Amino acid sequence: LHTALYQTRGTAQAIVHLHSTHSVALSMLPEIDPRAALPPMTAYYLMKCGATALVPYYRPGDPAVADAIKGLAGKYSSVLLANHGPVVAGETLEAAVFATEELEETARLYLLLRGLNPRYLSPDQVADLVKVFGVQLPERGDYH
């Protein structure tokens, strides 16, 4: 799992993997987009995590999970394993820890707001973050 992310994510120098409550809860919701597990809720989520991929459930130790991560071709620095937890890569251990914390708190926000029709960042606001802060999103259009 960790090796697969290191192999495909060239800039990764550290990887954090947790079984944190809100991220695991998010991974089990039926409406989750596998190419953008969370909507563009806050600037800091986008700046630290980019978009978050969701890969299907695999039992612990199943080597297929590594293939699923490799299938993302390094386009995501944050990945949710369904019914399991987040895997987040960073250029330093500190950056990976902060990004994992941001993912967990954004998942918590999503759960708090679920069903309340919240306003997310608009495509123009996301485009502005991409332009000004160099936010990297795997595919243009993920949030449109």
Give ∠ CA 80-82-87 in degrees, rounded to 5. 25
Which listed residue (6, 44, 76, 120) is catalytic?
44
* Nearest CA-CA partner of 76 in 48, 104, 110: 48
Could you tell me if 77 and 50 are in contact, meaning their C-beta atoms sit under 8 angstroms apart? yes
Backbone angles phi, psi at 16, to 5 degrees: -115, 135
Active site annotation includes 44:
yes
Contact assessment for residue 5 and residue 15, using Cβ atoms and an 8 Å cutoff? yes
**Would you please indicate which residues are annotated as catalytic (active-site) residues?**
44
